[in-house]
């Protein structure tokens, strides 16, 4: 938590107390009635507080330490003069008034601070009572009414509607809903439904329309694998899933606003924009000068599969990376339509977690997405999480044919959504990810970054130190064990004998105090971190401006981990949603990180001056090779390369 009061706050409190005291004393000695004495005290006290607050917390004073020292000395001298005047002219002691007033000016905020600690402690106890040791993964006590509300569908509007909440586009007029300080437009289609003859086809633009439609309910999530820890198993799923959501502040401005576009997580087999901890409402309410957009895209066997060797597969040339084509279609929709919501299509930033971060990496490496975004904040994702070649993803198609007992694309296309979902669930141990096909995505994205393909994009690259437990809580123990075993096996296949021996020796050593799965998990954690660090290295070598963020916050419940869920919720200010995932948000850290994210979006320097956020000292987020380390409720910058692995030689193998 932040400090209760900084020296700056105390100086403001002293001058305010002087003002309250002088106001009351002068009025009393002048013979004024008690009521007027109180009014005089309040007026002079408030004026003094406002004036000194503007001086102390001005950018000029806070910019340099010596300016603060000069200001504090001046305030101290002002206090001495005031005391002398009080003693010799009014013949009263201002110290008595100061003591009385400081009880209110300092005491009440201190009481509020203690109350906040009590509330946070209560929430922590409730979370731990609900989750126990966390071995059961994420727990969602969804009530039937809540599920029904989340699954409502938008309808055409035939009668009157609130024109203040309506936005007219080429494809129709969409009427949103007002909530607190923002207007939310949910479930807007950005492409034709990819169903029937458009199943496994590239997204197509919607036709023009003069219709009026509700935009108050989320669109369906993509057909997906139902993971143990995913709340979206309660949300309706459909092949008709190409919908997006826009959130804007209620206050209109003359200038167009920067746009933040969220790419959801989910290892390309599950997830969606309906995830509570990825909501943008709270962020927009606190930062109304930003337009927030989130969207769904096709997943799993409907979004990433290679049918080139299936009879009839030649009619489906884009299936290998359909999910990425959906993402490009969404970005193109934003480019063409976001101005109607007050957004600036020339200032689009993308924010992605896990598979969303991987997607952004691949789009940045692809010429097909050139110019669709200029800033990228990616967390826990790198090009390492893709198929190396189209050959690898062909095996998934072969397995799908066996599972569904089909032989041709015609037979596959005739299957129902339910049959495909059931097959996907049975094939969930296989990764359904993008493929570096050499057409849409360079065969070696890392080399493409080094050659400058993303040089026009500014990046924040973030990764966690304790993510594997989060993944375990999502997928369940049994599937997690399979994932770790497969990941280590694949890793060893790419290594030379010397390094593979070192890796096996490391796993053997770790199993002395932990299980084999935990040892493998620790190795995979390091492997992933090095892949993300390598991304930052290559982007920097290619001319991109890069800032690193290392999430080293300790989890509230160890078996639930601390990574994507905590980082995403903290960045977006979704504290209530985070409690559903077994943690309690650090409000002060959230305000600080949101401020830095906002500066990134608006093009300001990634730094804080002292007390820009009251109680937070001056801070500069230095670019790569330094990293912003979020640890122990503190922010600091340092180089972290030597913290990323315990396996000798692994850093050189993956990064250099």
In a domain, 31, yes or no: yes
Q: Which whole number is the average pLDDT over 207-235?
A: 94
* DSSP state string for 489-509: HHHHHTS-HHHHHHHHHHHHH
Percent of the chain whose pLDDT exceeds 90: 66
Mean per-residue pLDDT over the chain, rounded? 90
Task: Round to whole Å and give the CA distance between 214 and 207.
Answer: 18
Residue 402 Cα distances to 312, 314, 350, 377, angstroms: 16, 20, 38, 40
For residue 220, CA distances in Å to 236, 468, 592 come to: 6, 28, 34
Taking residues 629-643, what's their average pLDDT? 89
Cα 149–Cα 150–Cα 151 angle in degrees, nearest 5: 90
Structural domain includes residue 470: yes
Give this prediction's pTM: 0.88
**Structure confidence at residue 390 as a pLDDT band (50, 70, 90):** confident
Q: How far apart are CA 462 and CA 543, in angstroms?
A: 18
DSSP secondary structure of 525-587? HHHHHHHHHHHHHHHHHTT--EEEEEE-PPPSSGGG-BSHHHHHHHHHT-HHHHHHTT----H
φ, ψ for residue 87 (rounded to 5)? Answer: -75, -45
- pLDDT in the model for residue 106: 63
Across residues 540-560, what is the average pLDDT?
95
Given a cut of 70, is residue 569 above it in pLDDT? yes
Q: For residue 506, give Cα distances in angstroms to 421, 502, 525, 646.
A: 39, 6, 13, 8
Lowest-confidence segment of 64-73, 265-274, 564-573 by average pLDDT: 64-73
Please state which of the ranges 184-198, 330-344, 466-480, 544-558 shows the lowest mean pLDDT: 466-480
pLDDT in tens, 594-634: 999 999 999 999 999 877 887 777 889 999 999 999 997 67
- Among 83, 63, 67, CA closest to 14: 83
Distance CA 522, CA 355 (A): 20
At 423-452, the pLDDT tens digits run 999 988 666 789 988 888 898 999 999 999
What pLDDT shows up at residue 642? Answer: 92
Looking at 127, 159, 179, which one is the last position of a domain?
Answer: 127
My answer on whether 149 and 259 are in the same domain is yes
| For range 476-504, the mean pLDDT | 90
Average the pLDDT over 193-221 and give the result: 97
Asked if residue 156 lies in contact with residue 213, where contact means CB atoms within 8 angstroms, the answer is: yes
What range defines the domain where residue 557 resides?
144-386+403-409+429-654
Q: What tens digit of pLDDT does each residue of 308-335 get?
A: 999 999 999 999 999 999 999 999 999 9
Residue 133 lies in a domain: no
Q: How confident is the model at residue 8, as a pLDDT?
A: 75
CATH code assigned at 578: 3.40.50.1820
Q: Are residues 590 and 650 in the same domain?
A: yes
User: What local confidence, expressed as pLDDT, does residue 550 receive?
Assistant: 97
- Dist. CA 633–CA 552, nearest whole Å: 10
**Ramachandran quadrant class, 24 (left: phi over 0; alpha: psi -120 to 50; beta: rest):** alpha
Q: How far is CA 128 from CA 472, 553, 556, 557, 563, in A?
A: 18, 18, 8, 7, 18
- 334 Cβ partners below 8 Å, 6+ apart? 244, 259, 261, 293, 343, 345, 348, 372
Classify residue 153 as left (phi > 0), alpha (psi -120 to 50) or beta.
Answer: beta
- Length of the chain in terms of residues written: 656
Q: Tell which wins on pLDDT, 192 or 59.
A: 192
Q: How far apart are CA 134 and CA 130, in angstroms?
A: 9
Bigger pLDDT: 244 or 69?
Answer: 244
Per-residue pLDDT averaged across 485-512, rounded?
Answer: 91
Under the banding of pLDDT at 50, 70 and 90, the label for residue 1 is very low
pLDDT at 103: 66
Mean pLDDT confidence for 44-65: 82
Count up the domains in the chain and report the number. 2
Same domain, residue pair 154 and 120: no
Same structural domain, 494 and 369: yes
Terminal Cα distance for the chain, rounded: 39
Residues 6+ apart with CB under 8 A from 312: 408, 409, 410
Q: How many Å apart are CA 335 and CA 345, to the nearest integer?
A: 5
pLDDT at 289: 95
Residue 311 lies in a domain: yes
Per-residue three-class SS string for 602-640: HCCCCEECCCCCCCCCCEECCCCCEEEEEECCEEEEEEC
Lowest mean pLDDT among 53-67, 229-243, 461-475: 53-67
pLDDT, tens digit (0-9, with 9 covering 90-100), for 59-110? 778 777 788 889 888 887 887 787 777 777 767 676 666 666 666 656 666 6
Same domain? 218 vs 364? yes
Whether 411 shows a pLDDT value over 60: the answer reads yes
In a domain, 376, yes or no: yes
Q: Is residue 396 part of a domain?
A: no
Q: Does 165 share its domain with 64?
A: no
């Amino acid at each position: 938590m932040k400090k209760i009061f900084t020296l700056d706050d105390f100086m403001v409190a002293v001058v305010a107390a002087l003002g309250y005291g002088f106001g009351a004393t002068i009025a009393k000695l002048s013979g004024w009635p008690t009521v007027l004495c109180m009014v005089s005290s309040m007026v002079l006290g408030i004026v003094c507080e406002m004036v000194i607050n503007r001086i102390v917390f001005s950018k000029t004073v806070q910019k340099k330490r010596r300016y603060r020292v000069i200001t504090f000395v001046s305030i101290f001298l002002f206090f001495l003069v005031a005391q002398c005047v009080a003693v010799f002219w009014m013949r009263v002691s201002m110290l008595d008034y100061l003591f009385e007033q400081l009880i209110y000016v300092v005491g009440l905020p201190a009481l509020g601070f203690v109350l906040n600690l009590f509330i946070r402690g209560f929430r922590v106890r409730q979370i731990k009572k609900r989750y126990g040791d966390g071995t059961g993964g994420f727990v969602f006590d969804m009530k039937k009414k809540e599920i029904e509300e989340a699954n409502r569908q938008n309808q055409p509007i035939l009668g009157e509607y609130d024109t203040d909440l309506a936005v007219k586009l080429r494809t129709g007029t969409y009427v949103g809903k007002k909530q607190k300080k923002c207007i939310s437009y949910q479930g807007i289609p950005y492409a034709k439904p990819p169903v029937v003859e458009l199943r496994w086809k590239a997204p197509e633009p919607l036709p023009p329309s003069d219709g009026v439609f509700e935009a108050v309910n989320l669109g369906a999530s993509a057909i997906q694998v139902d993971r143990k820890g995913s709340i979206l198993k309660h949300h309706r799923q459909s092949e008709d899933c190409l919908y997006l959501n826009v959130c804007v502040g209620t206050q209109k401005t003359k200038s167009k606003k920067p746009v933040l576009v969220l790419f959801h997580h989910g290892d390309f087999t599950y997830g969606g924009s309906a995830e509570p901890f990825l909501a943008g409402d709270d962020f927009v309410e606190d930062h109304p000068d930003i337009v927030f957009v989130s969207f769904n895209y096709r997943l799993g066997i409907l979004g990433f599969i290679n049918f080139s060797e299936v009879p009839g597969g030649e009619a489906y040339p884009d299936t290998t990376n359909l999910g990425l084509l959906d993402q490009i279609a969404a970005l193109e929709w934003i480019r063409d339509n976001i101005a109607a919501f007050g957004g600036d299509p020339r200032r689009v930033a993308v924010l992605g977690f896990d598979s969303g971060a991987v997607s952004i990496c691949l789009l940045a490496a692809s010429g097909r997405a050139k110019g669709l975004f200029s800033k990228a904040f990616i967390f826990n994702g790198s090009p390492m999480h893709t198929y190396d070649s189209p050959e690898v993803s062909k095996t998934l198609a072969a397995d799908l044919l066996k599972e569904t007992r089909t032989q041709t694309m015609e037979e596959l296309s005739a299957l129902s959504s339910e049959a495909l979902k059931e097959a996907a669930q049975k094939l969930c141990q296989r990764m359904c990810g993008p493929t570096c096909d050499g057409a849409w995505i360079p065969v070696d994205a890392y080399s493409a970054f080094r050659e400058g393909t993303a040089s026009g994009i500014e990046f924040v690259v973030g990764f966690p130190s304790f993510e594997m437990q989060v993944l375990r809580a999502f997928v369940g123990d049994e599937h997690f064990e399979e994932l770790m075993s497969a990941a280590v096996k694949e890793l060893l296949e790419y290594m030379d004998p010397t390094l593979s021996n070192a890796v096996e020796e490391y796993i053997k050593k770790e199993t002395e105090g932990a299980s084999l799965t935990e040892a493998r998990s620790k190795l995979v954690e390091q492997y992933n971190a090095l892949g993300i660090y390598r991304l930052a290295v290559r982007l920097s070598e290619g001319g991109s401006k890069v800032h690193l963020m290392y999430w080293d916050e300790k989890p509230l419940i160890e078996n639930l981990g601390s990574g994507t869920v905590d980082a995403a919720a903290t960045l977006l200010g979704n504290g209530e949603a985070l409690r559903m995932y077994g943690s309690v948000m650090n409000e002060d850290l959230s305000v600080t990180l949101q401020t830095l994210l906002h500066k990134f979006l608006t093009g300001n320097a990634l730094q804080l001056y002292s007390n820009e956020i009251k109680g937070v000292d001056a801070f500069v987020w230095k670019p790569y090779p330094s990293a912003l380390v979020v640890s122990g409720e503190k922010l600091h910058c340092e180089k972290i390369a030597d913290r990323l692995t315990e396996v000798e030689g692994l850093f050189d193998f993956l990064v250099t």
